[in-house]
Chains A and B, each alone.
Chain A
Amino acid sequence: MEPADELLNEQAALELSEDPMRLNMGPSHPAMHGTIRMVMDLDGETLVNLDVQPGYLHRGFEKSCERGTWAQVFPYADRLNYVSPMLNNVGWALAVEKLLEIEVPERCQYYRVILGELSRIADHFTCNGASAMELGAFTPFLWLLKVRDWVWDILERETGARMTHSFGRIGGMAEPPTATFKDDVLRLIPELHKVVKETEIMLLRNRIFLDRMQGVGILSKEQALSYGVTGPVARSTGIPYDVRKDHPYLVYDRFDFDVPVGEDGDNWDRFMVRLEEIRQSVRIIEQAIEQMPDDGPINVDDPRIVYPEKNAVYTTIEATIAHFKLVMEGLQTPKGEVYSFTEGGNGELGFHIVSDGSGTPYRVRVRPPCWYNLAASREMLLGGMIADIIPTFGSVNMIGGECDR
Chain B
Amino acid sequence: MPKFTLDGKEIGFEPGETVMQAAWREGIEIPHYCWHPGLSIAANCRMCLVHIESGRQMAMPQLVFDEAAGEYVPATKSKLQPACQLEAADGMVISSTNDEVKTAQASVQEFLLLNHPVDCPICDQAGECKLQDYYYEHQGTLKRKLTEPVHKPKGVRFGPTIVYDAERCIMCTRCIRVCDEVAKDHVLDMRERGNRNEIILAPGRELDHKYTLMTEHVCPVGALTSQDFRFKARVWFLKSAPSVCTGCATGCNSHADYDPRNGKIYRLRPRDNADVNKFWMCDDGMMTYTRHDTDRLLMPSVGRGDARLPVGEDEALILGAEKLKGVDGDKLAVVLSAQHSTEDNLALAKLAAALGAEQLYLAALPSWEGDDILRNEDHNPNRAGATLAAGGAALKSVAELPADVQSGSVEAVLALGWATEETLEQLAPLLALDRVVSLTSHVGALPAVASVAIPVADAFELDGSFVNAKGMSQSFGPVLPAPAGVEPAWKTILNLARQLGKDLGFESLESLRQGLVDAAEAAQ
The interface bits of chain A over 205-233 (1 if a CB of B lies within 8 angstroms of the residue's CB, else 0) are 00000000000000000000000000000
What CA separation (Å) do A322 and B121 show in the bound complex? 12
Query: Does B266 sit within 8 A of A, measured CB to CB?
Result: no
A320 near B120 with CB under 8 A, answer yes
The stretch among A164-172, A237-245, A311-319 that forms the contact with chain B is A311-319
Q: Is A367 an interface residue (CB 8 A)?
A: no
A302 to B118, CA, bound (A): 20
Q: Does A37 contact B (CB under 8 A)?
A: no
Assess whether A303 is in contact with B118, with CB atoms less than 8 Å apart.
Answer: no
Given A318-B135, A321-B135, A322-B135, the answer on whether A328 and B140 have CB atoms closer than 8 Å is no
Tell me, yes or no, whether B37 is within 8 Å of chain A by CB: no
Contacts of A332 in B (CB 8 A): 136
Q: How far is the CB of A297 from chain B (nearest CB, A)?
A: 14
Residues on B with beta carbons closer than 8 Å to the beta carbon of A328: 127, 236
Interface presence of A324 (CB below 8 A):
yes
Asked whether A321 lies within 8 Å of B131 as measured between CB atoms, the reply is yes
Inter-chain CA distance A322–B136, complex, in Å, is 7
* Chain B residues, Cβ within 8 Å of A321: 113, 120, 131-132, 135-136
Contact of A318 with B143 in the complex, beta carbons under 8 Å: yes
Cβ of A302 and Cβ of B140 under 8 Å apart?
Answer: yes
Given A328-B127, A328-B236, decide whether A322 and B116 contact each other with a Cβ distance below 8 A. Answer: no
**Chain B residues within 8 Å of A325, by CB:** 132, 135-136
Please give me the residue from chain A that is nearest to B131 by CB atom.
A321
If A324-B120, A328-B127 touch, whether A318 touches B132 (CB-CB below 8 Å) is no
* Size class of the contact patch on chain B: 10 to 19
Q: How far is the CA of A316 from the CA of B148 in the complex (A)?
A: 10
Q: Does chain B have a CB within 8 A of A105?
A: no
B116 touches A317 (CB 8 A): yes
Do A312 and B143 form a contact, CB below 8 Å, given A324-B126, A324-B132?
A: yes
CB of A308 closer than 8 Å to a CB of B: yes
Contact (Cβ within 8 A) B142 A317: no
Task: Name the residue of chain B whose CB is nearest to the CB of A304.
Answer: B140
Tell me the total A-B contact number using a CB cutoff of 8 A. 51
Give CA–CA (A322, B135) in the complex, Å. 8
| B132 surroundings in chain A (CB, below 8 A) | 321, 324-325
CB distance from B205 to the nearest CB of A (A): 32
CB pair B126–A318 under 8 Å, yes or no, is no
A402 to chain B, nearest CB (A): 34
- The complex places the Cα of A83 from the Cα of B368 at a distance, in Å, of 73
B312 at the binding interface (Cβ < 8 Å): no
Chain B proximity of A88: nearest CB distance (Å): 28
Query: Is the pair A317, B117 in contact by a Cβ cutoff of 8 Å?
Result: yes
Interface residue tally for chain A (C-beta within 8 Å): 18
Docked pose: A316 CA to B118 CA in angstroms: 6
Q: Is B407 an interface residue (CB 8 A)?
A: no
Q: Which residue of B lies closest to A309 (CB)?
A: B142
Do B140 and A317 touch (CB < 8 A)? no
Q: Please tell me if the beta carbons of A314 and B118 are within 8 angstroms of each other in the complex.
A: yes
Task: Indicate whether A303 sits within 8 Å of B131 (C-beta atoms), given known contacts A315-B118, A317-B120, A328-B236.
Answer: no
**Which A residues lie within 8 Å of B141 (CB)?**
303, 318
Check B81 for interface membership: any CB of A closer than 8 A. Answer: no
- Given the complex of chains A and B, what is the CA–CA distance between A315 and B121 in angstroms? 12
A316 touches B136 (CB 8 A): no
Give the Cβ gap from A321 to chain B, nearest Cβ, in Å: 5
Asked whether, in the complex, the Cβ of B142 is within 8 Å of the Cβ of A312, the reply is: yes
Docked CA distance A308–B131 (Å): 18
Find the B residue at minimum CB distance from A308. Answer: B142
B475 within 8 A of A: no
In angstroms, Cα B126 to Cα A332, docked, is: 18
Asked if B139 is an interface residue, CB under 8 A from chain A, the answer is: yes
The CA-CA distance from A236 to B313 in the complex, in Å, is 74
- CB of A317 within 8 A of CB of B143, answer yes
Tell me the complex Cα distance, A312–B121, Å. 14
Q: Mark B106-127, 1 if CB is under 8 A from A, else 0.
A: 0000000100111111000011
In the complex, which residues 292-307 of chain A have their Cβ closer than 8 Å to any Cβ of chain B?
Answer: 302-304
Q: Which residues of B contact A319 (CB under 8 A)?
A: 142-143
Contact of A303 among B116, B126, B127, B140 (CB under 8 A): B140
B236: nearest residue on chain A (CB-CB)?
Answer: A328
- Taken together as a complex, chains A and B put the C-alpha atoms of A368 and B119 apart, in Å, by 45
CA distance A14 to B139 in the complex (A): 86
A328 to B129 alpha-carbon distance, docked (Å):
13
What residue of chain B has the Cβ atom nearest to residue A326's Cβ?
B136
Contacts of A314 in B (CB 8 A): 118
Q: How far is the CA of A314 from the CA of B140 in the complex (A)?
A: 17
| Known contacts A321-B120, A328-B127: A316-B135 contact under CB 8 Å | no
Most buried by A among B119, B120, B136, B143: B136
In the complex formed, the residue of A with least CB distance to B119 is: A317
Contacts of A317 in B (CB 8 A): 113, 116-120, 143
Question: Could you tell me which B residues sit within 8 Å of A by CB distance?
Answer: 113, 116-121, 126-127, 131-132, 135-136, 139-143, 236
Among all A-B residue pairs, the 10 with the closest Cβ atoms:
A316-B143, A304-B140, A317-B116, A321-B135, A325-B136, A318-B143, A321-B132, A320-B120, A318-B142, A317-B113
Known contacts A303-B141, A328-B127; 14 additional CB pairs below 8 A are: A303-B140, A304-B136, A304-B140, A314-B118, A316-B142, A317-B116, A317-B117, A317-B119, A317-B120, A318-B142, A319-B142, A319-B143, A322-B140, A322-B142
User: Could you pull out 9 A-B pairs where Cβ atoms are within 8 angstroms?
Assistant: A316-B118, A317-B117, A318-B113, A318-B143, A321-B131, A322-B136, A322-B140, A324-B120, A328-B236
